[in-house]
Amino acid sequence: MPNKLTASLLCIIALMLGACDVESTLPEATGKASIRAINAVQSSGDVNFLIEERSIGAVDYKESSSTARYDDLNYTFNFDVVFTGESSFRRVASRNIDFEVGKDYTLLMSGEVASPTLTLWEGEEREFAETDTVFEAKFAHAAASLGSIDYYFDDPAVAPVLGNQVATLSFGEVSAPVDYTEGTYVLTITAAGDPDTVLYVSSSTFVGQRNVLFFTAFDGDASDTAPVTARAIAAQGTSLNLPDPNYPPTVQFINASRDLGTVDIYSDEELTSRIVAEHGYLGVTDETSTAGGAADFFYTPAGDTAAILLQTNFVAFDGARYRIIATGVAGDFNAVVNFPDRVPELTRAKLLSYHASNNFSFLDVYAVPAEESVDDNDALRPFLAPNDVTAAAGLAAGSYDVYITEFQEKIVLAGPYRVDVVLGDVIDMIIVDTDDPAVLDVLFLGGGPTG
């Protein structure tokens, strides 16, 4: 007769064998679906898009994440943001989606960065045959400043006519997919039901076959000259900016070269079209419209066209805002084309630092709490190289003293400059030489000292 221990073991074995007969309740995948996120929050900066706790990618305003494919299971997708001054990511939004095989999902993030709205667009994954000569277009409305709009998408020679619109949308909506033959098209956006009220029109754009594109309207931001912009966002997540040629690029000139002296600036090599007169050291012009395409500018001594001191050329795209900074010494002048990041972000204050000094190589930029010393703090922007376009540094709201020091040496060359900032501020500054080669100064173009 078995003892009590043997009986207990037999019971446990029986229970284990019985458990093996129970069918698994875990879901099983039968295929995949795809997803991406589009950021329509103008003041957000980069937002981290995650599946559960695994990052899919960072998404800036007017951009899309890469498209990811996952098994047809249930997932929670999260959006995290870094608020400067906080020790970790802040989760601002989440959405649960039960994936279905072959579905294509898009999450549109809109509203306020601290508590955004998520709108889900559902469609079908598209597969093309190698013989297909069409592309698939969807039209989406992500411009919060606009009411209901009509989309027209046609040959450049065809003007918008009521009844020919391909979609009428309110904010946050997307159209059903439409197939078009590979070719050149113009995208036009008008007020709903009113083709004469044109809100946006693209230049002629060639679209190739076997693409899936979301043609999406956004509000313009501080980097744009137009109030409304549009992008063609591919299913893979890449995007093509479609600028409105009715809003040409602008250029702002800054003279940061002491040796260059006072100059005139012309837009033609024959020096017949002067656009800036008597542009002296530390001079900052207003933004001037220029033609899209090749943009050549020529600097001469003020009032004297006998010699060209400096020439710059670049390709200017419609709708963009450019800055040209003249730097260097006699015999070695430079004209640096700069595209400053002036878009406010409500997750931080931005500090933009540009090094235009001829007397120092690398510099360190400090923004220390008011009344504190550089000796007790680390550089906010170390190793700043001459004429280097660096990313903006982030600051939490507060009061700071800005200093410029020698690289890796806490020897103050300029400052302190007291700045009081709130989230969304942009401090835009250029470090320049003074009469004393051992002393620097700062030219503030935005968000300057408060005292």
How high is the pLDDT of residue 21? 46
Range 349-446: architecture per CATH: Sandwich (2.60)
C-alpha angle 184-190-191 in degrees, rounded to nearest 5: 165
Contacts of 399 (CB under 8 A, 6+ apart): 369, 370, 418, 419, 420, 421
Distance CA 257, CA 260 (A): 5
Rounded to a whole number of angstroms, the distance between the first and last alpha carbons of the chain is 96
How high is the pLDDT of residue 310? 96
Question: 250 burial class (0-12, 13-18, 19+ CB within 10 angstroms)?
Answer: middle
How high is the pLDDT of residue 85? 92
pLDDT band at 13 (very low <50, low <70, confident <90, very high): very low
Mean pLDDT, the chain, rounded, equals 92
For 190-205, the pLDDT digits (tens) are 999 999 999 999 999 9
Distance CA 100, CA 73 (A): 8
How high is the pLDDT of residue 450? 77
Distance CA 345, CA 399 (A): 18
How high is the pLDDT of residue 333? 95
C-alpha angle 329-333-339 in degrees, rounded to nearest 5: 120
Distance CA 432, CA 448 (A): 15
Does the pLDDT value for residue 15 go beyond 50? no
For 245-304, the pLDDT digits (tens) are 999 999 999 999 999 999 999 999 999 999 999 999 999 999 999 988 999 999 999 999
User: Which CATH number does 250-338 carry?
Assistant: 2.60.40
How high is the pLDDT of residue 435? 94
pLDDT band at 126 (very low <50, low <70, confident <90, very high): very high
- Residue 188 CA, chain-centre distance (Å), reads 23
SS3 labels along 192-215: CCEEEEEEEECCCEEECCCCEEEE
Which amino acid belongs to residue 296? D
Residue spans per domain, the chain = 32-241, 250-338, 349-446
DSSP string, 31-49: -EEEEEEEE--TT---EEE
CB contact at 8 A, 140 and 173 = yes
Distance CA 115, CA 92 (A): 6
How high is the pLDDT of residue 446? 86
pLDDT band at 449 (very low <50, low <70, confident <90, very high): confident
How high is the pLDDT of residue 22? 46
For 357-403, the pLDDT digits (tens) are 999 999 999 999 999 999 999 999 999 999 987 889 999 999 999 99
pLDDT band at 208 (very low <50, low <70, confident <90, very high): very high
SS3 labels along 97-111: EECCCCEEEEEEEEE
Residue whose tokens read 């943009």: 295
For 301-321, the pLDDT digits (tens) are 999 999 999 999 889 999 999
**119, two tokens:** 């709108």
Does the pLDDT value for residue 17 go beyond 90? no
The secondary structure element, H or E, covering residue 401 is strand 398-406
How high is the pLDDT of residue 112? 96
Other Cβ atoms within 10 Å of 369 Cβ, number: 12
C-alpha angle 428-330-384 in degrees, rounded to nearest 5: 35
Alpha carbon of 351 to those of 341, 391, 450: distances in Å? Answer: 10, 9, 15
Contacts of 193 (CB under 8 A, 6+ apart): 150, 162, 168
Out of 27-36, 97-106, 210-219, least confident range: 27-36
How high is the pLDDT of residue 451? 62
Does the pLDDT value for residue 335 go beyond 50? yes
For 22-67, the pLDDT digits (tens) are 455 667 889 999 999 999 999 999 999 999 999 999 999 999 999 9
Domains 250-338 and 349-446 share a fold: yes
Distance CA 227, CA 342 (A): 15
CB contact at 8 A, 161 and 195 = yes
Mean pLDDT, range 436-449, rounded to an integer:
92
Contacts of 57 (CB under 8 A, 6+ apart): 48, 49, 65, 66, 237
How high is the pLDDT of residue 12? 46
Handedness of CA 210, 215, 220, 221 (dihedral sign): negative
